[in-house]
Structure 1
Amino acid sequence: MQVLVLRFDYKLSTKLEHDSKDLHLASRRGNETQMPPHISLFSFEKINPATLKEQVNKWIEQQKQLDISFSSLGFFKQNGTFFVAPVVTKELETFHRELFSLISHLHTNEISPYLPGKWVPHSSLINKVPLTAWGPLFQRASLAFEPQSGKAVALECWSIVNGHAQTEWTYFLK
């Protein structure tokens, strides 16, 4: 599977990594490999990363870094996922919509949750939390949560294999 993601500046990434590690340790899953902090934009079941790179190449050269402000803590019941959610700015929404217009012809069922109007931008802190840990872990996360601000500084394409992300390419935003 391939995923297009937004990556953050060093300070914001470090803080989100710390928050994620804290939840992994509290859930007794401290030795699990975690994905780097990111916002998923689109996913594809089987696509050549070079094809995606070719589609976004000229457009991405004009894109500026995006202000990102995580002001909410959230939870996806279906996957037992705790996440931080950014304020959805016009810039973030436009970035997502324009990127979709470039790759929409590559659409698969896997992209469906990422369609404009359905996409829920977020950065996961921990996934697959067992039902019995939801309450205590969410309480811990809520007490520790502080709003965070930073920049989205890069668009990356990852290949996900056995739960691990391999970076296929990176474009740094201006």
Structure 2
Amino acid sequence: MPFAVFMELDPYGVAELQPIIEHVERISPDAATPRRVKVEPHISLAVYDGLDPEPIAKALDRFSADISTPSIKLSSIGLFPGPASVLFAAPVVSEELLALHRDFHAAAATAGVACWPHYLPGNWVPHVTLGEQLSPEEAGAAISGAMALWQPVAARLHRISLVRFHPIELLWHRQLPG
């Protein structure tokens, strides 16, 4: 089973995205949305095919000990196209966000695990998944409806978590100081 390290949006940010998530659920009975997979909307920092959770949890303890709740602005929506497309909200890619991602990967390197390449610094496209496993027809309807509902969202990343998925199993988390 794969593992992910992600940072969850605060409750305000989550509430602002709910109308779009509900829209995706109405148009696609099979789409994986945050609510359907029982996870809060988040930005993933890394995904791994397999790992021993203990070393990565220790790296997360060190990494998260001194960080405070980062602010983000979700400024646009997008689509990773394909036969199983992904609808997402995209944050403004700030130096703070890129530094946070780089610093996480530097800390995680001590755990000796290989991250999926598209989550590595230089390849990473930060995003908040709103719906995935969308057929091409569903993706068109999802993006069209999301455009009608979209408004920029100011949020904070208030918790960092390590999970095994699917189904989601929380292995480690820390609430960040605000």
User: When the two structures are superposed, what TM-score results if normalisation uses the length of structure 1?
Assistant: 0.90
User: Of residues 40, 43, 50 in structure 1, which corresponds to 2:44?
Assistant: 40
Which runs of no fewer than 5 residues in structure 2 stay unpaired? none
Question: What does 1:115-134 correspond to in 2, within 5 Å?
Answer: 115-134=120-139
Can you list the C-alpha shifts for 1:116-151, whole angstroms capped at 9, x where unaligned?
111000001110111122322211111111111110
Can you list the C-alpha shifts for 1:82-106, whole angstroms capped at 9, x where unaligned?
0000001111111100110111352
Task: Give how far 1:37 is off.
Answer: 0.5
Match of 1:25 in 2: 26
Match of 1:76 in 2: 80
* Partner-residue secondary structure (3-state), 1:151: strand
Match of 1:166 in 2: 169
* Partner-residue secondary structure (3-state), 2:116: helix
| CA distance in 2: counterparts of 1:152 and 1:121, whole angstroms | 13
Task: Give how far 1:30 is off.
Answer: 7.8
| CA distance in 2: counterparts of 1:56 and 1:31, whole angstroms | 27
Root mean square deviation of aligned Cα: 1.9
Match of 2:109 in 1: 104
* Partner-residue secondary structure (3-state), 1:46: coil
* Partner-residue secondary structure (3-state), 1:142: helix
| CA distance in 2: counterparts of 1:107 and 1:47, whole angstroms | 6
Cα distance change, pair 16–69 in 1 and its aligned pair in 2 (3 A): same
* Partner-residue secondary structure (3-state), 2:156: strand
- Structure 1 stretches of 4+ moved >3 Å: 28-32
1:14 matched to 2:15: yes
Count, aligned residues: 171
- Give the letter aligned to residue 136 of structure 2: L
Contact preservation (8 Å) 1:69, 1:87: yes
Task: Give how far 1:168 is off.
Answer: 0.8
| CA distance in 2: counterparts of 1:135 and 1:46, whole angstroms | 33
User: Of residues 53, 58, 83 in structure 1, which corresponds to 2:57?
Assistant: 53
| CA distance in 2: counterparts of 1:134 and 1:17, whole angstroms | 17
Identity over the aligned pairs, expressed in percent? 22
| CA distance in 2: counterparts of 1:4 and 1:31, whole angstroms | 18
Cα distance change, pair 170–31 in 1 and its aligned pair in 2 (3 A): closer
User: When the two structures are superposed, what TM-score results if normalisation uses the length of structure 2?
Assistant: 0.88
Match of 2:5 in 1: 4
